[in-house]
Chain A
């Protein structure tokens, strides 16, 4: 049980590195699907002894939204805009990897003084949730294409969800649902917006959007 848990958490770290270092968009979306499944599995494993009805509900909604609906929407955006890869990131891919390791080190360091004695969870869990959050943030900062930034946003949400699983035994249903709804709406709106932007301007490069103006 414990070793499976450790394996999943380490897999989560490696998936984050895959996201940071990959230039292709479809594999990134697949990574997001796997991450959502792993997170749900981990949440189920940590709360196994005392699963209540609303936790089950949360898990089902989580899997349905993050592993099915959102990836499907993102895939559609990718296919409609005929983009397959992020070509000129602000930070290159090898430097991104190195920055990722630094972020992992930082999240391990800042989570050391925080103790989680009241939960069943391994001490690896908090650093990993922080690292997921940071790597999502880093993706938003370091990539130019709007769609990669949306992916970063979703990774960040995954991090917040992991943090919630780690910190709260009984997380309020309403809070978690509203966060999920936020993400859903955000991705929906961003998907539509990206589609329209690329149809109007023939690109979705956010750097060039800042110089837009009326005639």
Chain B
């Protein structure tokens, strides 16, 4: 049993850069292109690690510490989140609050580093990021609270497992929307463009280079993995008792979530900036509905 838990964490460390690759492949398939190789992010990371970092003279230590925080938060986040019926490596009561605020800390440091460069362009990205985060956070917290109220548990592992079927899809939708918002995916943010109008997350890491950029990219891949496996845990049906089978089901569900992200990126355009808050309010409403349905 313990071994499957370790296996999940190690798989997350090794495989998480593949998730953006799979998303890119799905998008390429929809566009009728061949697309980048699935392992492209590994090559990028290897290339970045070999380079040296360049720091602007206006930046302070905050600018240098923020990539470390992003990567560290990603690593802890992956350890906290369960996949399928396999519990996370670190589990204690109330760990879902820690998860939400860990990602909050990482975002805080990214925003601080963006402001630290003194570039107005990065400041604009930081402002947008904070605005969306403000709306995405209640959706995630309320969703996890609904999970907690339903199961009477306060640890993510136990509450995902003891969840009844009816409200699962609603909660999964809410957390999936939060996933798209928090990981700078298409209805909220276009990760592939470098246009002033469309950038939110990308703009904040423009001034990072070399190993710092590699840490940020790796951290965001781990973050995507953490949110993805949280969503996947809500899709995996209960009652798969064998640890390896449940882990396998978790991986299949994670793959499904990844492909869904790719499909959504292919068939949707990026929303206008003023429409984004409405979608995030919608996610919050979904969480609230499931909370009301649970505690009625």
A binds B: yes
Interface residues of A (CB under 8 A from B): 3, 6-7, 10, 13-14, 17, 21, 93-94, 97-98, 100-101, 104-105, 108, 112, 123-124, 127
Least CB distance, B273 to chain A, in whole angstroms: 14
- The answer on a CB contact under 8 Å between B281 and A108 is no
Which residue from B282, B288, B293 sits with its C-beta under 8 Å from A21? B282
* Cα–Cα, bound, A97→B282 (Å): 7
Which B residues lie within 8 Å of A100 (CB)?
A: 285
List residues 272-294 of chain B with CB under 8 A from any CB of chain A.
277-278, 281-282, 285, 288-289, 292-293
- Number of inter-chain CB pairs below 8 Å: 42
Which B residues lie within 8 Å of A93 (CB)?
A: 278
* Cα–Cα, bound, A17→B278 (Å): 13
Q: A3-B165, A101-B285, A101-B288 are in contact. List 18 more A-B contacts (CB 8 A).
A: A3-B166, A6-B166, A7-B166, A10-B166, A13-B289, A14-B170, A14-B289, A17-B285, A17-B289, A97-B281, A97-B282, A98-B281, A101-B289, A104-B289, A105-B292, A124-B293, A124-B296, A127-B296
Which residue from A3, A10, A94, A105 sits with its C-beta under 8 Å from B278? A94
Q: List, sorted by A's number, 20 A–B pairs whose CB atoms are closer than 8 Å.
A: A3-B165, A6-B166, A10-B166, A10-B289, A10-B293, A13-B289, A14-B170, A21-B278, A93-B278, A97-B281, A97-B285, A98-B281, A98-B285, A101-B285, A104-B292, A105-B292, A112-B296, A123-B296, A124-B293, A127-B296
- The answer on a CB contact under 8 Å between B170 and A10 is yes
* Cα–Cα, bound, A215→B64 (Å): 75
Interface residues of B (CB under 8 A from A): 165-167, 170, 277-278, 281-282, 285, 288-289, 292-293, 296
Which B residues lie within 8 Å of A112 (CB)?
A: 296
Which B residues lie within 8 Å of A17 (CB)?
A: 282, 285, 289
Which A residues lie within 8 Å of B285 (CB)?
A: 17, 97-98, 100-101
* Cα–Cα, bound, A34→B277 (Å): 27
Least CB distance, B15 to chain A, in whole angstroms: 33
Which B residues lie within 8 Å of A7 (CB)?
A: 166
* Cα–Cα, bound, A7→B166 (Å): 6
* Cα–Cα, bound, A97→B288 (Å): 11
Least CB distance, A198 to chain B, in whole angstroms: 28
Least CB distance, B80 to chain A, in whole angstroms: 29
Which B residues lie within 8 Å of A97 (CB)?
A: 278, 281-282, 285
Give the most central of A101, A105, A112: most B CB within 10 Å.
A101
Which B residues lie within 8 Å of A127 (CB)?
A: 296
- The answer on a CB contact under 8 Å between A108 and B292 is yes
Closest B residue to A122 by beta carbon equals B166
* Cα–Cα, bound, A101→B289 (Å): 7
Least CB distance, B169 to chain A, in whole angstroms: 8
Closest B residue to A97 by beta carbon equals B285
Least CB distance, B271 to chain A, in whole angstroms: 14
* Cα–Cα, bound, A112→B285 (Å): 21
- The answer on a CB contact under 8 Å between B292 and A101 is yes
List the 8 shortest-distance A-B pairs measured between CB atoms, nearest first: A6-B166, A108-B296, A94-B281, A101-B288, A97-B285, A94-B278, A3-B165, A105-B292
* Cα–Cα, bound, A6→B294 (Å): 12
* Cα–Cα, bound, A13→B173 (Å): 15
Closest A residue to B167 by beta carbon equals A10
Least CB distance, B136 to chain A, in whole angstroms: 14
Least CB distance, A99 to chain B, in whole angstroms: 11
Which A residues lie within 8 Å of B288 (CB)?
A: 101
Least CB distance, B149 to chain A, in whole angstroms: 14
* Cα–Cα, bound, A100→B282 (Å): 11
* Cα–Cα, bound, A10→B282 (Å): 15
Which A residues lie within 8 Å of B281 (CB)?
A: 94, 97-98
Closest B residue to A112 by beta carbon equals B296
Give the most central of A17, A94, A123: most B CB within 10 Å.
A94
Which A residues lie within 8 Å of B282 (CB)?
A: 17, 21, 97
* Cα–Cα, bound, A93→B281 (Å): 10
Least CB distance, A40 to chain B, in whole angstroms: 21
Least CB distance, B145 to chain A, in whole angstroms: 14
* Cα–Cα, bound, A124→B167 (Å): 12
Least CB distance, B134 to chain A, in whole angstroms: 13
Least CB distance, A103 to chain B, in whole angstroms: 11
Which B residues lie within 8 Å of A123 (CB)?
A: 296
